[in-house]
């Protein structure tokens, strides 16, 4: 009797997943089920998200050469290894020559785009320096390199200046769309205001960028409902790009004390893949990055993300001597590989995972062009 009942229940769940996977509009209830999908259901979710990705944005993975050009940061996020108060970190600023050389490598290797990422600074000198770098990168590549910035919250004027100087995409993770959780993982002060972060996302949109945001997955105090709300937030914000990765504890940060309460790393990894696959169904035409943090848990992590819905990958081009000083989290991969090694390694991995690399193509967010009516 019980056996029959269990079989019926399993059949009902399978039916439910199949229904959800063919629906046009996903409800919060559907999303909860997708995030919790395991075994056969999970396999079906991944099959569908992979199919949607191929149909809508194609099977190419686009490279964005990542240059972490400075770890000097004015913020104190409670999870981040390069937070201002971490005195163990040697603070660096790459020279213009080093940055331009990395961009030149990207250009010569037909990466087509670079991401300039740094800690968050807001001084006139920093603003000016980034603007000048953007112009130099455009010049050295004959306008060929696409540029994404990831330099935190700035004023409208700064965003506009950087946009005019050559950047056309910007990444600013909301980290969590739930203000309650946001303030558990950030200090509660003016410098870490949830409202200001939201406003920065609006400013980026108004100043004409392709806007990317994202969250960390497996944070202490995070619930499934909170993650579902993150997905709904992305949809409501009508974002163009998304980067989601597992939270990985860092010894020299205040959040480390909650390490005993976290879900195991493998579960954080699995949940991240479910989030990526679900977002591909919810927002089929956005760009989604296979976050490097996935590789800190599973050596094939980024390729697995590509297989279930991501379509962007960020080979690290940061000069090797600086890499160990840009450890946002523990076990960050590629600390010793130089740009050439990273490229070869990723090329092999991406191809093994069944994707093609979009060499020489910007691979901009399809969603951006649609929302702009282009
Ligand atoms: N684990 C995972 N990701 C982290 N980041 C910062 N610290 C960590 C951590 N401990 C992410 C944040 C930030 C991005 C640059 O790195 O989401 O936006
Ligand atoms: Fe905020 Fe590093 S201090 S993400």
Nearest ligand (C-alpha, residue 72): 2
Nearest ligand (C-alpha, residue 117): 1
pLDDT tens column, 287-328: 999 999 999 999 999 999 999 999 999 999 998 889 988 988
Average pLDDT over residues 185-198: 97
pLDDT tens column, 240-282: 999 999 999 999 999 999 999 999 999 999 999 999 999 999 9
pLDDT for 354 equals 82
Q: Ligand 2, from 78, 117, 118, 119: best to mutate by most atoms within 8 Å of Cβ?
A: 119
Average pLDDT over residues 136-147: 97
Centre of ligand 1 to C-alpha 136, Å, is: 29
pLDDT for 1 equals 47
Residue nearest to atom 14 of ligand 1 (CA): 173
Q: What is the mean pLDDT of the chain?
A: 93
- Domain total in the chain: 1
Ligand 2 pocket check for 77: Cβ under 6 Å: yes
Structural domain includes residue 205: yes
259: CATH:
3.20.20.70
Which residues, 6+ apart, have CB-to-CB distance to 352 below 8 Å?
303
Structural domain includes residue 354: yes
Structural domain includes residue 236: yes
Structural domain includes residue 39: no
Structural domain includes residue 233: yes
pLDDT tens column, 13-58: 666 899 999 988 999 999 999 999 999 999 999 999 999 999 999 9
pLDDT tens column, 84-129: 999 999 999 999 999 999 999 999 999 999 999 999 999 999 999 9
Enclosing domain of residue 213? 58-371
pLDDT for 11 equals 61
Structural domain includes residue 53: no
Structural domain includes residue 249: yes
Centre of ligand 2 to C-alpha 323, Å, is: 16
Q: Residue 353 above 80 pLDDT?
A: no
pLDDT for 188 equals 95
SS (H, E, C) the chain: CHHHHHHHHHHHHHHHHHHHHHCCCCCHHHHHHHHCCCHHHHHHHHHHHHHHHHHHCCCEEEECEEEEEECCCCCCCCCCCCCCCCCCCCCCECCHHHHHHHHHHHHHCCCCEEEEEECCCCCHHHHHHHHHHHHHHHHHCCCCCEEEEECCCCCHHHHHHHHHHCCCEEECCCECCCHHHHHHHCCCCHHHCHHHHHHHHHHHHHCCCEEEECEEECCCCCCHHHHHHHHHHHHHHCCCEEEEEECCCCCCCHHHHHHHHCCCHHHHHHHHHHHHHHHHHHCCCCEEEECCHHHHHCCCHHHHHHHHCCCEECCECCCHHHHCCCCCCCCCCCCCCCHHHHHHHHHHHHHHCCCEECCCCCCCCHHHHHHCCC
* Residues lining ligand 1, Cβ inside 6 A: 79-80, 173, 175, 216, 245, 247-248, 250, 293, 328-329
């Amino acid at each position: 009797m019980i056996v029959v009942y269990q079989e019926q229940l399993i059949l009902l769940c399978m039916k439910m997943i199949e229904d959800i996977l063919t629906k046009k509009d996903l409800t919060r209830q559907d999303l909860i089920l997708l995030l919790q999908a395991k075994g056969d259901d999970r396999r079906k979710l991944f099959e569908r998200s992979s199919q949607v990705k191929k149909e809508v944005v194609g099977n190419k993975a686009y490279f964005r050469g990542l240059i972490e050009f400075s770890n000097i940061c004015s913020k104190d996020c409670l999870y981040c290894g390069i937070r201002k108060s971490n005195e163990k970190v040697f603070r660096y600023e790459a020279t213009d020559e080093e940055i331009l050389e990395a961009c030149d490598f990207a250009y010569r290797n037909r990466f087509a785009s670079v991401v300039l990422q740094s800690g968050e600074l807001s001084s006139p000198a920093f603003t000016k320096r980034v603007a000048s770098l953007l112009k130099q990168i455009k010049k050295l590549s004959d306008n060929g390199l696409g540029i994404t910035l990831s330099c935190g919250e700035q004023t409208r004027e700064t965003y506009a200046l950087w946009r005019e100087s050559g950047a056309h995409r910007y990444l600013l993770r909301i980290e969590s769309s739930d203000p309650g959780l946001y303030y558990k993982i950030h200090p509660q002060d003016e410098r870490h205001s949830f409202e200001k972060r939201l406003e920065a996302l609006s400013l980026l949109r108004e100043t004409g960028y392709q806007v990317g945001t994202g969250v960390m997955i497996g944070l202490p105090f995070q619930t499934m409902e909170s993650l579902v709300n993150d997905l709904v937030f992305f949809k409501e914000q009508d974002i163009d790009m998304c980067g989601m990765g597992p939270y990985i504890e860092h010894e020299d940060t205040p959040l480390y004390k909650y390490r005993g309460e976290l879900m195991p790393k493998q579960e954080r990894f699995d949940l991240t893949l479910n989030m990526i696959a679900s977002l591909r169904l919810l927002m089929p035409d956005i760009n989604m990055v296979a976050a490097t943090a996935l590789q800190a848990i599973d050596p094939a992590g980024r390729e697995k993300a590509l297989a279930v819905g991501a379509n962007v990958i960020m080979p690290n081009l940061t000069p090797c001597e600086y890499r160990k000083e840009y450890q946002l989290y523990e076990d960050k991969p590629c600390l010793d590989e130089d740009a050439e090694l990273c490229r070869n390694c990723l090329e092999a991995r991406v191809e093994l995972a069944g994707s093609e690399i979009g060499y020489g193509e910007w691979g901009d967010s399809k969603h951006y062009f649609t929302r702009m009516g282009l």
